[in-house]
Amino acid sequence: MKKNCDLLIHQARLITCADNGQPCGLIDHGTVACDQGRIVWVGAAHESHEYTSTQTIDAQGQVLTPGLIDCHTHLVFAGSRAHEFAQRLAGVSYEAIAQAGGGILSTVQATRAASLDELVAGTVQRLQQLQAQGVMTVEIKSGYGLDVDNELKMLAAAKAAGKQAGVDVKTTLLAAHALPTEFADDADGYIDLICTELIPHVAKNHLADAVDAFCEGIGFSYAQTDQVFAAAARWGLPVKLHADQLSDLGGAGLVADYCGLSADHVEYTSTASIKKMATNDTVATLLPYAFYALNETRKPPIEAFRKHGVDLAIATDCNPGTAPTTDLLQCLHMACTLFGLTVEEAIRGVTINAAKALGIDHDKGSIEVGKAAELVLWNTTEVADLVYWQGGDRVQQLIKP
Ligand code: NIG
Ligand code: FE
């Protein structure tokens, strides 16, 4: 007697991203059974299973992946920084623009002035653009509010936009993104506000899934980041970090010391930090679009990450300053062409390893029994196509029964 289930998908080229010994966990002519929002069976056509369904999809050999995950974005913001792009083209550096009061602080001004509804509307649009590329889970950071009310407004906007767009949004508190002008001469006072007011409030009310900081010469020091992480740890919130993007302040090692989820950017990360990341399972999240847009030349130490067994994730870093993009597939392509990743590493970077970078790999990131039934059917039979081709209608169907 067969068991009824909500959906059966046949004849798919399954990129399971599970560890089954095949590249990308490939299963050709694969079958997936889904029931009550979960995957209940996965296997090849010749294997027998007990499921039947009135709802079936014949994938006709097309590629099926887990829903993609963009694990590092600043999707909630107002205003535009197009003028700064023009300045950078004229030779002014990102750091110089920030030091002159532009950069992150110019987006802070616009974001503080925007209503919750305005922020939600802009974020929904950007979420829909990601969704059109097969992205079903998105991490969104605060960090353009820089005071209690506006940071909370950003987190609320992120959640509301996710609901409206039908995308699973994970939120991250990035209050330590830049120093707000009202604390211009008192960085320690601002760090204190984050540690004693914001983090406790956010933790008690479950408003964020993680805490992040910008550890950099133009951001916060190692010691200040350490204070933020200690407060997050006291309140039971996992940490991640904008680490070693423009210089090596030891940020990736620090986040690994806290058994953090991920160190992101990581262009200048040292071998000592990489070893700590490997020991504590901290993912290296690559943000090739920001590298490209800032005209950076120092590449992340990919070979050392591989050698020490650090998992690699890839994300858009979508933000109005350094990564004006909602094109995650282009970021996959760039991670390969600019940083030398393989097709398999790129695909794992936006599925299982992106799930690890958010601490949700028990639930998402691969096509395995027990995980969320969030799948993407692509307009191709070629695995490498996901990384190779740019533009056009790539997604045939998002599947979320
Ligand atoms: O990830 N590095 C800091 N934060 C962002 C940039 C934000 C901005 O310039 O608005 C990043 O690149
Ligand atoms: Fe970022």
Asked if residue 350 and residue 275 are part of one domain, the reply reads yes
> Could you report the per-residue pLDDT of 197-249, keeping only the tens digit for each?
999 999 999 999 999 999 999 899 999 999 999 999 999 999 999 999 999 99
Task: For residue range 139-198, list pLDDT tens digits in order.
Answer: 999 999 999 999 999 999 999 999 999 999 999 999 999 999 999 999 999 999 999 999
- Kind of pairing between the strands at 56-58 and 51-52: unpaired
- At 31-46, the pLDDT tens digits run 999 999 999 999 998 8
Quick: pLDDT tens for 21-33: 999 999 999 999 9
- Nearest atom in ligand 1 to the alpha carbon of residue 323 is 12
The SS3 call for residue 8 is strand
Q: What is the pLDDT of residue 34?
A: 98
Q: Are residues 7 and 81 in the same domain?
A: no
Mark whether 282 and 383 lie in a shared domain: no
| Cβ of 242 less than 6 Å from ligand 1 | yes
Same domain, residue pair 200 and 229: yes
Task: Tell me: do 139 and 208 sit in the same domain.
Answer: yes
Element (H, E) at 89: helix 82-89
Q: Which ligand is nearest to the CA of 245?
A: 1
Is the beta carbon of 319 within 6 A of some atom in ligand 1? yes
Q: Which of 8, 46, 40 is closest to 27 using CA atoms?
A: 46
Give the domain extent around 195. Answer: 68-357
Q: Are residues 329 and 388 in the same domain?
A: no
| Residue located nearest, by CA, to atom 9 of ligand 1 | 321
- For residue 139, the ligand closest to its alpha carbon is 2
Rounded to 5 degrees, φ, ψ at 172 are -130, 130
Ligand number nearest to the C-alpha of 104: 1
- For the Cβ of 107 lying below 6 angstroms from any atom of ligand 1, the answer is yes
- Average pLDDT value over all residues in the chain: 97
Which residues is 375 bridged to in the sheet? 66, 399
Q: Which CATH number fits the domain that encloses residue 27?
A: 2.30.40.10
Same domain, yes or no, for 271 and 284? Answer: yes
> What's the 128 CA to ligand 2 centre distance in angstroms?
20
Kindly indicate the confidence band of residue 271, based on its pLDDT and cuts at 50, 70 and 90. very high
% of the chain beyond a pLDDT of 90: 95
- Say which CATH number the domain at 92 has: 3.20.20.140
Rounded to 10 deg, the angle between the 148-165 and 104-113 helix axes is 80
| pLDDT score of 95 more than 90 | no
Q: How many domains does the chain have?
A: 2
Whether the Cβ atoms of residue 64 and residue 367 lie closer than 8 Å to each other? yes
Q: Are residues 81 and 41 in the same domain?
A: no
62, 165: one domain: no
**Does the reported pTM lie above 0.95?**
yes
* 219 vs 264: CA distance, rounded Å: 14
Ligand 1 within 6 A of CB of 288: no
* pLDDT at residue 308, rounded to an integer: 98
pLDDT at 118: 98
**Which of 99, 141, 317, 318 maximizes ligand 1 atoms within 8 Å of its Cβ, making it the mutation to test the pocket?**
317
Confidence at 134, pLDDT banded by 50, 70, 90: very high
* 255 in contact with ligand 1, CB cutoff 6 A: no
pLDDT band at 100 (very low <50, low <70, confident <90, very high): confident
228-234 contact pairs (CB < 8 A, 24+): 228/176, 228/191, 228/194, 228/195, 228/199, 229/254, 229/255, 229/258, 229/260, 230/195, 231/194, 231/195, 231/196, 231/199, 231/200, 232/199, 232/258, 233/258
Report how far Cα 101 is from the mean position of its chain's Cα atoms. Answer: 27
Contact present, 171 and 155 (Cβ < 8 Å): yes
